[in-house]
Structure 1
Amino acid sequence: MTPVGTKVAECPVEVTIAGMLFSSKEYQCGQEILTIAAMTAVQDAFVIPDGAAGALAELERRKFTAEEGDHLTLLNAYNAFVRYGQSASWCRKHALNFRALARAVSIRTQLKKYMTRFGLPLESCEGDAVRLRRCLVSGYWRNGAKWSADGTYRSVRGDTVLHVHPNSVMFTRKPRTGWVVYHEMEETKKTQIRVLTEIEPDWLLEYGHKYTDKRSV
């Protein structure tokens, strides 16, 4: 195992997330990736009930929604939560799960200690969504997927049919590039993907994915 591989193995997160934390040095986005790592470790940051209440909650979520997808939306929600004093009443007003966000704050604090220990700088990309998304691909490149005309996706590995989870901000939206990476896959009656971000397909190639037909990219 390489020295970096040994360090990655020591991080208390999935290999994909640990890889991003180490890549954040190259892309100068350690602050943002640290937050995203914490937010993807908790479930259901937004509270979207069924019915009329759900429609109102969706309007609240849109205040945080990033056009690039779920990871940056989670980043926006976390930053707002901290900015407004980590308030439970503020969370209720904005359709956010206070317990999940409070847990993310705790996880972020723990992961920050690992970054400091490994000498990884806590720089900010200052809103540069391209740098941030490229860093996401450095960890998620195996989780790439291509949009299909029927609204589903096809995985880059195995050509599996994937359905976007209804909680995703990408559920009713086609990515402008036609490509995304996702945080996790969930098997129910169909294979669903959660936490998606729009990417450029060339970024997948940079991280070693080999296509049998590059014309499809």
Structure 2
Amino acid sequence: MNLLGDAFAWITASEQWTGPNALHILLWQQLYFTAVAVGIAALIAVPAGWAIGHTGKGREIAVAVAGAARALPSFGLLVLLVLLFGVLHKPEAAIVTFVILAIPSLLAGAYAGFEAVDRRVIDAARSMGMTEWQILWRVEVPLGLPLLVGGLRSAVLQVVATVTIAAYVNLGGLGLPIITGLSLRRYEVVLGGAILVALLALVLDGLLALAQQAVVQRGVRASRGEHVTAAKETEPAA
């Protein structure tokens, strides 16, 4: 209990919020690496996932690639890329590492969102004379958004937690106090850094959960509500 109190005392101490390694600067670095990596991964994975989901081709390859990327050890990959890129390009190596980690969740969310769309809806759209592009943007993308945002949610959580290892190659972030605390055996600093990373992950997860609910189409919500009401009406009385 004293360790937890010491950790919160360290977080709230005024000296932790001043200087080049102030906590708000480390927080910004954590968010910066996360946003850049997830953004680049989205540019790669989302169009590929939509193409797979729309055409139904290449799913096996995508699953294999996603599985292989998830199996990669993030710390080992970061060290390997730093050695390959050179010490002058450590930020680029870190971004590539985090992009590789973010791609599988985004790719899966993109094509799974399209696969979840009722094929009868797509057939109805074709029978109305819609082109493939119109079906893509007016039917599949809006209806597949919840699962895509779910994939984005998973990617962000994985990356924001993994960005802590960037401190091992002197790139800052909220992993810096964790590493510093370990080297100095100041475990309240280690716990304080871990608490900040956990809180940041919880905040981002909550915001993306709200976004996932917000992108559900009104017709889908109404349909779900009707199913719930019908289920309640058919329940036997106690």
Q: Give the TM-score normalised by structure 2.
A: 0.26
Greater helix fraction, Structure 1 or Structure 2: 2
Greater strand fraction, Structure 1 or Structure 2: 1
* Structure number with bigger Rg: 2
Q: Give the TM-score normalised by structure 1.
A: 0.27
